[in-house]
Amino acid sequence: MNRNAMPALVGIALIGLAVTGCGGGGPVPVNPPPSSAHSAAEQAATMNWLAKTNGMWASGDFAALDQVTTAEMRTIYLSEESHASLPGNADRQGLQLTGLSITIPCHTGPSNVFVAYGDTDVFDLGSAMQPVAMVFERIGGSWKLAAAVDRPGQGWPALCTQGTPPAAAAVLPSASYATVLAQVLTHAMTGVTETSAAASPFAVNDFLAGSGSITAQSATQLRQDRQAGITFTGRFTPTPDPTLALPLAHGRGFWMIGFLTQSGTYSAPSGLRAKAWPDGNQVATPRPAVVHHESDTFATTYTATDPLRPDNAAVTLDGFFGWPLTATAS
C-alpha cells in the first residue's frame, strides 16, 4: 500500500456481486442501478450536500459542516477545515456531481440510510470525475453524508430494495467488523504472506494476496526502507463510528462499510535529507533539513460482502476509500 498517497490500492481487481436489485440474475453491473421510486427527498438531500460542500470549497467557510456530514466524513471535513486555504485568485470552479442515482435499501420501520451513486470530483478536489457511492444517514431528522466508497473494479454490489432485511446473522456481526478487520489489515502491513487462518473470517482475495495486495506492497516497501537503515511500523485501528450494514439482494447477507484509522511511523536514526523515503513516499512538509521521524494518519473506509452463516462462508473485501489526515516530520 502506498502509505502517503491515498486513495491507495489502485489497480487491484476488486470483487463485486453478480446481480442487481432484489430479483433476477445477470452480469455484475458497472453502472449504478436505476434510482429507487419515491426518492425525491433523498435526491434533494444529496444536492443540498453538494451545494454546502461547494460553499466550503469556494470560500473556505465550513460553518455548514455539521449540517451535511457525520461519522468518518465529518472527520475528513474537519481535517480539511484545519488547513483550508484559497488559491491566490480565489476563483475556484464549482465541484460537480453527474449521473445521480439513489438506492434506498430495504428496511423495517422508517428509512435511515440511502446510497447516492454518481460521478463526482468532490473527492479529488476538482481534479477529476470519479464514480463513487455516497452513503447518507438520517441524523436528528437531517440527511448527512457518512461515507464515500470508490467503485469496485467489477461493479457495485447489488443491494436489496424490496421487502425486509435478512433476519439471520451474518458471518461477521457489524459490531465486530471494524475490530476484526483492523487486526487482519495490521497483519497484512507486516508483509508476511497471508494465510486463510490468519485472515479468517476474511477471504484471502486480491486485497490480501498477489502483486497488488496490501501484503505484497508492504513487503516491498518495508524491504526498501530496511535496506537504508530506516524502520516503518503501521497499524489500523477502528474509529468510534459504527459499521454500516446494508442488506444485499436475494438475502445474501450484508454490504459492510467500516471505518478505520491507518497510522504509520518512520524512524531514521541516522537522519534523512532526501525529499522521499526509500520506499518512494514523499517526506511530510513542513520538515527540518534532517528528518529522524515521521508520523502519518489516514481515514480509511473498507467495504466487504458479509454472507449469512453457515460458518464456512467467508467475508470478502471489495471496496476502499482513503483520505490523509495528518503528516508530521521531525
Pair 138, 112: CB distance under 8 Å: yes
Residues 127 and 191 in one domain: no
Residue at which a domain ends, from 120, 150, 180: 150
User: Quick check: is 131 in a domain?
Assistant: yes
pLDDT digits (tens, 9 = 90+) for 179-203: 999 999 999 999 999 999 999 999 9
Residues 114 and 180 in one domain: no
Residues 177 and 309 in one domain: yes
In the prediction, which pLDDT does 143 show? 96
Residue at which a domain ends, from 150, 184, 199: 150
pLDDT digits (tens, 9 = 90+) for 27-52: 344 567 777 778 889 999 999 999 99
User: Quick check: is 172 in a domain?
Assistant: yes
User: Quick check: is 20 in a domain?
Assistant: no
- Number of domains, the chain: 2
Residues 187 and 318 in one domain: yes
User: Quick check: is 84 in a domain?
Assistant: yes
Residues 189 and 294 in one domain: yes
First to last CA, the chain: 23
Domain limits for position 94: 31-150
Residues 136 and 261 in one domain: no
pLDDT digits (tens, 9 = 90+) for 53-103: 998 888 888 999 999 999 999 999 999 988 776 555 456 788 999 999 999
Q: What are phi and psi of 258, to 5 degrees?
A: -115, 150
Residues 131 and 204 in one domain: no
Burial class (CB in 10 A: 0-12, 13-18, 19+), 60: middle
Q: What percent of the chain has pLDDT over 90?
A: 68
Residues 39 and 138 in one domain: yes
Pair 327, 296: CB distance under 8 Å: yes
| Model confidence at 327: pLDDT above 50 | yes
Residues 329 and 188 in one domain: yes
